[in-house]
Amino acid sequence: MIKAVGTDIAKNSRFDNLNEGVLRKIFTQSELDEAGRRSDASAFFSSRFAAKEAFVKALGKGFKAIKANMIEIRENEDGMPYIVTLSDVLNRDERVFLSISHEEEYSVAMVVIDGKE
């Protein structure tokens, strides 16, 4: 059963010149490392931020319940993104589905939380 949905859109250029201190407040070390290996770091950061925003919107608690750098966006071997939390904000029976898309200067993400009522 679908319990919640969250969505967010972020402008890629917003992440062009952020200093390392700000980036560390938003992203995990693994995400920072991955961005460093990519030619599209701003789009990468933008998409991950949109995913984190969509997730906390679906939780209904915003970043008061969990810090952005306690949420990590990973990809499986097929490139499908998924969310890992370094916190206990989800119940054991809840599953999270994530979709990320990029178009020119924007990244958008949608999160669905599924579980028992």
Distance CA(98)–CA(78), nearest Å, equals 14
Sequence spans of domains, the chain? 2-114
pLDDT of residue 41: 95
Three-class secondary structure of residue 77 per DSSP: coil
Which candidate, 109, 107, 106, places its Cα nearest to that of 96?
A: 109
Mark the binding-site residues, compressed into ranges: 8, 53
Tokens of 8: 């967010």
Q: What is the pLDDT of residues 7-52, one digit of tens each?
A: 999 999 999 989 999 999 999 999 999 999 999 999 999 999 999 9
CATH architecture of 2-114: Alpha-Beta Complex (3.90)
Mark the binding-site residues for Mg(2+), compressed into ranges: 8, 53
What is the percentage of the chain residues whose pLDDT exceeds 70?
99
Q: What is the pLDDT of residues 50-59, one digit of tens each?
A: 999 999 999 9
The one-letter amino acid code at 26 reads I
Model pTM score: 0.93
Return all residues near 35 (Cβ < 8 A) that are at least 6 apart. 27, 41, 44, 45
Report how many helices (DSSP H) and strands (DSSP E) the chain contains, helices first: 3, 5
pLDDT of residue 63: 86
User: Which class for 112: exposed (0-12), middle (13-18), buried (19 or more C-beta within 10 A)?
Assistant: middle
- Residue 117, pLDDT > 80, answer no
Q: What is the pLDDT of residues 53-112, one digit of tens each?
A: 999 999 998 888 899 999 999 999 999 999 999 887 777 778 999 999 999 999 999 999
Report strand pairing: 2-11 vs 71-75: unpaired
